[in-house]
A and B are shown apart, each in its own frame.
Chain A
Amino acid sequence: MSYSSMETNLDQQFDPNRMSTYEEEFKWLKWVPLILEIIILTWGMINLSSATAVEDKSAGLWKNQMITICIGTIGTLFLMIPHYSFLSRLAYMIYLGNLGLLLAVLAVGKSSLGAKRWIGFGGFSLQPSELMKISTVIFLAKYFENKSTTSGLKFKDLLMPTIFVMIPLVLILVQPDLGTAMIIMLVYGSILLFLKISPKVLVGLTIIAALALPVVYNYGLKPYQRQRITTFIDPMSDPKGAGYNSIQSMIAVGSGQMFGKGWKKGTQAHLNFLPEHHTDFIFSVFSEEWGFVWCSILLLLYLLFIMSGLSVAYRSNDKFATLLAFGITSIFFWHVFVNMGMVMGMLPIVGVPLPFLSYGGSALLTAMSGVAILVNIANKKYMF
Chain B
Amino acid sequence: MSFIGNEEQIRFLQDRFKFIYGILFIGVGVLLSRLFFLQMINGDQMRQYSEENRIKRVKIPAPRGMIFDREGRLLIDNRPAFYVNITPQYLKESGKPKEVIGQLSKVIKIPVDDIEKKLNKVKGQASFMPVLIKDNLTRDEVAALETWKINMPGVQVEMGISRMNTERDVGSNLYGYIGKISQNEIPGLNASIGQNSSRKYQLDDSVGKSGLEKQFEEHLRGIDGSELVEVDALGRSIQITKNKGRVLAQNEEEPSVPGKNLILSIDQDLQMAALRGFGEKQGGLIAIDPRNGEVLAMVSRPSFDPADLSRGVDADIWAKLISDENHPLRDKTIQDHFSPGSTFKTITAIAALEEGVITKDTTFNCGGSIMLGNRKVHCWKKEGHGTVNVVSALTHSCDVFFYRVAQKLKSVDDIAKYAMHLGMGRRTGIEVGREVPGLIPTEAWKKQRFNTEWSPGETLYVAIGQSFVLTTTIQLANAYASLVNGGTLYKPMIVKSVQNEDSKTIKESIPQVLDRTNLKKETIDLVTEGLWGVVNAPGGTANWMHKPGLEFAGKTGTVQVFTQKAEKIYQKCENLRFKQRHHGVFVGYAPIKNPSIVVAVYAEHACSGSHGAAPIAKEVIETYLRKYYPDVYNDKALAEARKKPGIIQFKASGGD
Contact = CB atoms under 8 A, between A and B. Distances in A.
Q: Interface of chain B, helix or strand or loop or mixed?
A: helix
Contact of A319 (B13, B16, B49, B150): B13
A299 B35 contact: yes
Given A255-B49, A271-B233, A384 B39 contact: no
A292 B34 CA distance: 11
Nearest to A275: B233
Given A196-B16, A344-B34, A257 B27 contact: no
Interface stretch (B4-12, B379-387, B551-559, B573-581): B4-12
Contacts of B9: 148-150, 319
Interface residues of A, number: 56
Contacts of B38: 250, 253-254, 344-345
Interface in B425-464: none
Contacts of B649: none
B182 interface: no
Interface in A212-259: 240, 248, 250-258
Interface string A286-311: 01100110011001001100110010
Interface stretch (B17-25, B105-113, B172-180, B331-339): B17-25
A199 interface: no
B40 A55 contact: no
A310 B43 contact: no
A272 B14 contact: no
Interface string B60-94: 00000000000000000000000000000100000
A346 interface: yes
A323 B43 CA distance: 41
Contact of A150 (B3, B4, B12): B12
A31 interface: no
Interface in A328-370: 333, 336-337, 340-341, 344-346
Contact of A254 (B1, B39, B238): B39
26 contacts: A55-B150, A148-B6, A149-B12, A195-B16, A196-B16, A248-B53, A251-B46, A254-B38, A255-B43, A255-B46, A268-B53, A271-B231, A271-B233, A273-B53, A287-B39, A292-B43, A296-B35, A299-B31, A299-B35, A318-B5, A319-B5, A319-B10, A319-B13, A340-B35, A345-B38, A346-B34
B32 interface: yes
A97 to B, nearest CB: 26
Interface of A: 55, 145-146, 148-150, 193-196, 240, 248, 250-258, 267-268, 271-273, 287-288, 291-292, 295-296, 299, 302-303, 306-307, 310, 313-314, 317-320, 322-323, 326, 333, 336-337, 340-341, 344-346, 384
A343 to B, nearest CB: 10
A344 B31 CA distance: 8
Contacts of B20: 194, 310, 326
B3 A317 contact: yes
Nearest to B47: A255
A240 B5 contact: no
B10 A267 contact: no
A317 B10 contact: yes
Contacts of A302: 28
B27 A337 contact: yes
Place the interface of chain B in its size category. 35 or more
A337 B34 CA distance: 12
A299 B36 CA distance: 12
Most buried by B among A149, A251, A314, A326: A251
A193 B18 CA distance: 12
9 shortest interchain CB distances as A-B pairs: A254-B46, A257-B43, A255-B50, A272-B233, A292-B39, A271-B232, A254-B38, A317-B3, A255-B47
Contact of B13 (A268, A271, A322): A322
A267 B53 contact: yes
A145 B5 contact: yes
A346 B27 CA distance: 12
A251 B53 contact: yes
Given A303-B28, A326-B20, 13 more contacts: A254-B49, A256-B43, A257-B44, A271-B230, A271-B233, A296-B32, A306-B24, A310-B21, A317-B2, A337-B27, A341-B30, A341-B34, A384-B4
Contacts of B39: 253-254, 256-258, 287, 291-292, 295
Given A253-B46, A255-B46, A303-B24, A292 B40 contact: yes
B230 A254 contact: no
Contact of A295 (B4, B35, B46): B35
A295 B35 CA distance: 8
A346 B33 CA distance: 11
Contact of A310 (B5, B17, B47): B17
B35 A287 contact: yes
Given A194-B13, A273-B54, A254 B45 contact: yes
Contacts of B239: none
B4 A318 contact: yes
Nearest to A337: B27
A299 B32 contact: yes
Contacts of B189: none
B202 interface: no
Contacts of B27: 333, 337
A194 B6 contact: no
Contacts of B5: 145-146, 318-320
